[in-house]
Amino acid sequence: MKFEPKTLDYDLSPYTGLTRESWIEAGTYLMEGIFRNIRNFEDPVVMPRQDTKVTYPHSADAVWEQKAEYFEGLARSFFIAAPLIHDNPDLTVCGYRIRDYYKAHVLRACTKGDPVSVGRYEELQEISQDGERTFQQTVETCALVICLWVSREEIWDTYTKAEKDLIAEFLTGYAHGNTVPQNWRLFNMLDMAFLHMEGYPVDEEIMTEHAKAILNYYAGDGWYRDGHSFDYYSCWAFQVYAPIWNLWYGYAHAPLLAAKFEAYSNKLMETYADFFDRDGFTNMWGRSNIYRNAATSAFDGNLLLQSPTADPGLARRICSGSLLQFLGRDDFLYQGVPTLGFYGQFMPLVQGYSCAESPFWLGKAFLCLHLAADHPFWTARENNGSWEEPDGQQVKQTVLDGPALCVTNHRANGSTVLRTGKVVKAPGDIHGMWNYSKLCYHTKYPWEAGPVGADVPAAVVTKTPALFAQTVPAGRVESQQYVLLDKTSGQYERCNVTFWNGVRDGVLYRRQFFDYSLQKECHWMHAMDLADFPVPYGILRADRPRLYRRPVELTLGSYGFPDNGTEMIGRECETGDGTAKAVILKGRDSQGRAKQLAMTVYGGWTELWVTASRGTNPDSAKSLIVCAKGAWQKRYGCRPGLLISQVITKESHEDFTPDELFPIAAVAYTDPDCLGIYGPVTITLKSGEKKVIDFEGIEGQLLL
């Protein structure tokens, strides 16, 4: 059953109606789902589990994985419980006084030999016999200390001196122990900062080493690099934990480091609101998508600083919009607990480091409840930032070269599209490619897993059925990705590496390599030079293949489209260099909301058709993808040289106009054969706007 707030105030919150009391109701709603699954006060927070193959514990004998699961359940659900306890110490859910439960279970988790002990660092090191080993428990200690701070008066201050010492001894091992050299360093930093704040000894040299390393991960524009990639860990880890560290330790004991963390948070706030759409929706992008609206917690992190720059009314509007994006759906919960998915259960996005309790990381979004009722975050009137500007741009484009992120806010349909770069994944890491190297990520069309299913019979399409060929085998199409069939090797290849060149005159330039490997010179790998720019309802592409041998075939898919009864329409338009073709899909998502998508292809593409799939779409069991195909036969030759396509969307069934479906008035080539194989190509739109596609010079400015 979806969350339905009882308290609404559309004067204070004209976009969502949500107030601080609404958020308390939402947190209580989640806690009720949790505690319906806890039969006895002594039982840990272990939730019903749909999957037993991907997620951990991976076997009944994996005792230490079970202990890690105990800790994830306890600490991550505490993110939600702690501010509720602070607001109402007597809160009772399903017959449990929540304060009593967490106070007892935190102590038991830290107590060696207790049935729900999660294991001390020294115990795990002794069992593993691996001096370099890191443990999931380190992650959860950080959640634990944050929640003890949020509920200090109700829980931490009520422990005896001996009980506090026991918890501190438990934390000390993880605080000073091995950690993963990325965002995990912040877990150790907060553990040490909490201990130091409470008068316990810590090794401040280790603290400084971790803080220095974290700052060295900073890439600019408010974003930190986490491993090879950029993703929401920059926002729900770096930009939440660092401000808390400033409060607990940095401002007083490391002011130069604290000043950097504060400046970087404020830099993020300059553009972070642009990553959400007009409804406040969070994009499905990067790993750990089961954490959902935790991405909004960076706003709360900023508001903890001494000199925050976040707009409180805009921050709350986005936080509340994203909250409703998930809690407002009837497929969000499984037996009262957030599913392992983005909306409903969706195993293609789940990773092996997660367990049934991992989604409670979204509880970070509820940390805003520790802000007092009179804080501007709660008292400012909701505003929708640049979406409200009466004379605002039709498309607002935000370009961040540091993390290689380009965001476009489309006023025509209220969507936000993200295009990424600086992506490095292993050739076989198809999961990593879905998360990071899609050509576009759309707030209203979460990425579709692949390869997708069987072709739709041409007869299903009621208009111009000749457009819908069935010559490409099922299983070789990906949404928003190129897939290449090398007919010499017989191998299908996908783009696992994306280099960033940046935006020039409104056009974003990138290069993707198929099956990129350091074992080969780049000239022995197929690649695509990418050039794309926004149009009112989506993105228009003018990409150039870089092929070292032929014959090959390429396919390109649209976004995945939820298929709950879909009308498919074909259209054609004569152009100066041939016939442009378009496919339109009209239907509804699983929640009954109107959806419409169209894909248009120009010269270079030979076919356009629709393919159907099951179990690959985060929203609906069945889905459709519009697909384009091109082919290169001669070993050396120039045809086709430039692949022009467009994908546009609407959140209504109002027809696209002919100019929206076929926006190009003329294409002017430099080469005499009009193939676009060299020299600038000028695309003139029917609106009068011109875009020059010119790949010259990108070779020397490709960034990872």
Residue range 378-391: mean pLDDT, rounded: 95
Q: How many angstroms separate the CA atoms of 466 and 483, rounded?
A: 23
187 neighbors 141 (Cβ within 8 angstroms): yes
Q: How many angstroms separate the CA atoms of 254 and 302, rounded?
A: 18
pLDDT for the residue 473: 54
**β-bridge mates for residue 489, sequence order:** none
Mean pLDDT of the chain: 94
Short-list 578, 491, 494, 482, CA closest to 530? 482
Give domain limits for the chain. 20-388, 395-701
Helix (H) or strand (E) holding 581: strand 578-588
Is the torsion defined by CA of 36, 23, 154, 297 positive or negative? positive
Confidence of residue 390 (pLDDT cuts 50, 70, 90): confident
Q: How many angstroms separate the CA atoms of 161 and 165, rounded?
A: 6
pLDDT for the residue 457: 46
Is beta strand 405-410 parallel, antiparallel or unpaired with respect to 441-442?
unpaired
pLDDT single digits (tens) 546-593: 999 999 999 999 999 999 999 999 999 988 777 899 999 999 999 999
Q: How many angstroms separate the CA atoms of 198 and 192, rounded?
A: 10
Q: How buried is 25 (Cβ within 10 angstroms: 0-12 exposed, 13-18 middle, 19+ buried)?
A: middle
- pLDDT tops 90 at residue 636: no
* Residues 6 or more apart in contact with residue 136 via CB below 8 angstroms: 68, 71, 72, 353
Short-list 191, 173, 50, 46, CA closest to 119? 173
Q: How many angstroms separate the CA atoms of 323 and 17, rounded?
A: 12
pLDDT for the residue 471: 40
pLDDT single digits (tens) 27-48: 999 999 999 999 999 999 999 9
> What letter represents residue 238's amino acid?
F
> What letter represents residue 429's amino acid?
D
Percent with pLDDT over 70 in the chain: 96
**β-bridge mates for residue 562, sequence order:** 623
Residue range 613-635: mean pLDDT, rounded: 92
> What letter represents residue 30's amino acid?
L
pLDDT for the residue 467: 44
DSSP 8-state assignment for residue 556: E
Phi, psi of 533 (to 5 degrees): -150, 155
Short-list 624, 695, 325, CA closest to 477? 624
Phi-psi region of 258 (alpha: psi -120 to 50; beta: other; left: phi over 0): alpha
- pLDDT tops 50 at residue 464: no
- pLDDT tops 60 at residue 168: yes
- pLDDT tops 50 at residue 458: no
Short-list 516, 583, 586, CA closest to 556? 583
Degrees to nearest 5, angle at CA 257 with 256 and 259: 65
- pLDDT tops 80 at residue 277: yes
Torsion angle of C-alpha atoms 259, 260, 266, 267, degrees rounded to 10: 150
SS3 state of residue 423: strand
pLDDT single digits (tens) 193-202: 999 999 999 9
Which CATH number does the domain 20-388 belong to among 2.60.120.10, 1.50.10.20, 2.60.40.10, 1.10.10.10? 1.50.10.20
Of residues 604 and 594, which shows the higher confidence score? 594
Q: Comparing 20-388 with 395-701, is the CATH topology the same?
A: no
pLDDT for the residue 135: 95
Question: 395-701 is classed in which CATH architecture?
Answer: Distorted Sandwich (2.70)
Per the listing, tokens 């009837």 go with 330
- pLDDT tops 50 at residue 463: no
The CB-side HSE value for 646 (13 A sphere, CA atoms) comes to 26
Phi, psi of 483 (to 5 degrees): -125, 130
* Residue 3, token pair as written in the block: 């969350």
State the first-to-last Cα distance of the chain, in angstroms, to the nearest integer: 44
Q: How buried is 530 (Cβ within 10 angstroms: 0-12 exposed, 13-18 middle, 19+ buried)?
A: buried
Kindly report which listed range (16-25, 195-204, 222-231, 259-268) carries the lowest average pLDDT score. 222-231
- pLDDT tops 50 at residue 359: yes
- pLDDT tops 70 at residue 682: yes
**β-bridge mates for residue 599, sequence order:** 583, 647
Is beta strand 96-97 parallel, antiparallel or unpaired with respect to 690-693?
unpaired
111 neighbors 105 (Cβ within 8 angstroms): no
* Residues 6 or more apart in contact with residue 605 via CB below 8 angstroms: 581, 628, 629, 630, 640, 643, 644, 645
User: Over the Cα atoms of the chain, what is R_g?
Assistant: 26
**β-bridge mates for residue 543, sequence order:** 643
- pLDDT tops 90 at residue 472: no
Cα 169 to the chain's mean position, in Å?
36
DSSP 8-state assignment for residue 295: G
- pLDDT tops 80 at residue 470: no
Per the listing, tokens 């993703």 go with 231
Torsion angle of C-alpha atoms 634, 635, 641, 645, degrees rounded to 10: 80
488 neighbors 472 (Cβ within 8 angstroms): no
- pLDDT tops 90 at residue 122: yes
pLDDT for the residue 322: 98
pLDDT for the residue 606: 86
Preceding omega of 255 cis (within 30 degrees of 0):
no
Phi, psi of 486 (to 5 degrees): -85, 105
pLDDT for the residue 431: 94
pLDDT for the residue 475: 57
pLDDT single digits (tens) 43-85: 999 999 999 899 999 887 788 899 999 999 999 999 999 999 9
Q: How many angstroms separate the CA atoms of 35 and 37, rounded?
A: 5
Q: How many angstroms separate the CA atoms of 696 and 676, rounded?
A: 12
Residue range 661-666: mean pLDDT, rounded: 96
pLDDT for the residue 465: 40
* Residue 405, token pair as written in the block: 């992120």
